[in-house]
């Protein structure tokens, strides 16, 4: 395997625990959207694969790997009082407020990767503004050479646009970059871009879901340094 010189991370479910972050967002967003009508909040949650009563996402929820635009497209027919633009604005506003639970303390973790001479980036299907807000709250924005959301001009995953844009930005061949993610969208994007595919299990997908699409499956990003040591020998 080619020596790895760049690491591109997904955000939610990879740098941050998916359930702890987005279940809180879904609850707050649906209550606001329904103006406190719990019955309507429950019905709206069902349209995007969120069990409002149990406060958990279903395995196939569009929120897990989809873009905010895709979530809005599903919700819009059920919220005729709001335009798609207004609904997207509300979704992103609540997303910026979502509490972030770091999988591991990110500052020392990322500084350790930078010390190895690695170029680092983030490619998320979240919108760019909430993504920057989340990374800013964790004080890690400056540690990345590249940050892109689905609306940053490169498209969303599973398309390879964000990944290829990172490779171009840092001057690396895609084969020298590992894409780290918790969903098949991440891994399919990595395959399309010609990158090494690393799955982690801090999202909603299981090892069985991810293994067929991954070069390696790790429990979480804390296992990345040891894996890099083995790859680069």
233 has pLDDT over 50: no
Q: What is the average per-residue pLDDT within 136-142? A: 97
Q: What is the average per-residue pLDDT within 81-106? A: 92
Q: What local confidence, expressed as pLDDT, does residue 1 receive? A: 61
**Residue 212 to residue 175: CA distance in whole angstroms:** 19
pLDDT level of residue 19 (50, 70, 90 thresholds): confident
Q: What is the average per-residue pLDDT within 169-180? A: 98
pLDDT level of residue 134 (50, 70, 90 thresholds): very high
Peptide bond into 158 cis (omega under 30): yes
Q: What is the average per-residue pLDDT within 138-154? A: 97
Q: What local confidence, expressed as pLDDT, does residue 132 receive? A: 96
Q: What local confidence, expressed as pLDDT, does residue 232 receive? A: 57
**CB–CB of 184/213 below 8 Å?**
yes
Domain ranges of the chain: 6-16+101-231, 19-97
Query: What percentage of the chain exceeds 70 in pLDDT?
Result: 99
Q: What local confidence, expressed as pLDDT, does residue 222 receive? A: 98
CB-facing half-sphere around the CA of 198: CA atoms within 13 A? 25
Query: What percentage of the chain exceeds 90 in pLDDT?
Result: 88
Give the ranges where the chain is alpha helix by DSSP (H).
Answer: 18-33, 38-47, 62-65, 68-75, 84-97, 106-115, 128-137, 161-170, 184-193, 207-210, 224-231
Q: What is the average per-residue pLDDT within 18-29? A: 90
164 has pLDDT over 60: yes
Q: What is the pTM of this model?
A: 0.88
Q: What is the average per-residue pLDDT within 138-160? A: 97
Maximum Cα interatomic distance, the chain, rounded to a whole number of Å: 59
Q: Regarding the domain with residue range 6-16+101-231, which homologous superfamily does it belong to in the CATH classification?
A: HAD superfamily/HAD-like (3.40.50.1000)
Bridge partners (DSSP) listed for residue 122: 9, 147
pLDDT in tens, 39-90: 999 999 999 999 999 999 998 899 988 899 999 999 999 999 999 999 999 9
**CB–CB of 199/218 below 8 Å?**
yes
**CB–CB of 128/151 below 8 Å?**
yes
């Amino acid at each position: 395997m080619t020596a790895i010189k760049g690491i591109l991370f997904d955000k939610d479910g990879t740098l941050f625990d998916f359930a702890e972050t987005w279940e809180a967002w879904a609850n707050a967003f649906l209550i606001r959207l329904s103006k406190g009508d719990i019955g309507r909040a429950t019905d709206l949650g069902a349209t995007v694969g969120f069990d409002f009563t149990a406060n958990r996402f279903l395995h196939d929820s569009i929120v897990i790997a989809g873009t905010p635009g895709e979530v809005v497209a599903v919700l819009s027919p059920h919220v005729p009082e709001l335009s798609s633009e207004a609904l997207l604005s509300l979704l992103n506003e609540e997303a910026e407020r979502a509490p972030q639970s770091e999988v591991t303390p990110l500052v020392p973790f990322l500084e350790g990767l930078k010390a190895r001479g690695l170029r680092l980036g983030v490619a998320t299907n979240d919108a760019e503004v909430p993504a920057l807000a989340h990374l800013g709250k964790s004080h890690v924005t400056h540690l990345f050479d590249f940050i892109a959301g689905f609306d940053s001009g490169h498209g969303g995953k599973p398309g390879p646009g964000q990944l290829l844009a990172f490779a171009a930005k840092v001057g690396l061949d895609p084969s020298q970059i590992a894409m780290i993610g918790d969903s098949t969208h991440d891994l399919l994007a990595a395959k399309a871009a010609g990158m090494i595919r690393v799955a982690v299990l801090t999202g909603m997908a299981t090892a069985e879901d991810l293994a067929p699409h991954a070069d390696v499956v790790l429990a979480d990003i804390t296992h990345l340094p040891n894996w890099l040591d083995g790859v680069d020998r």
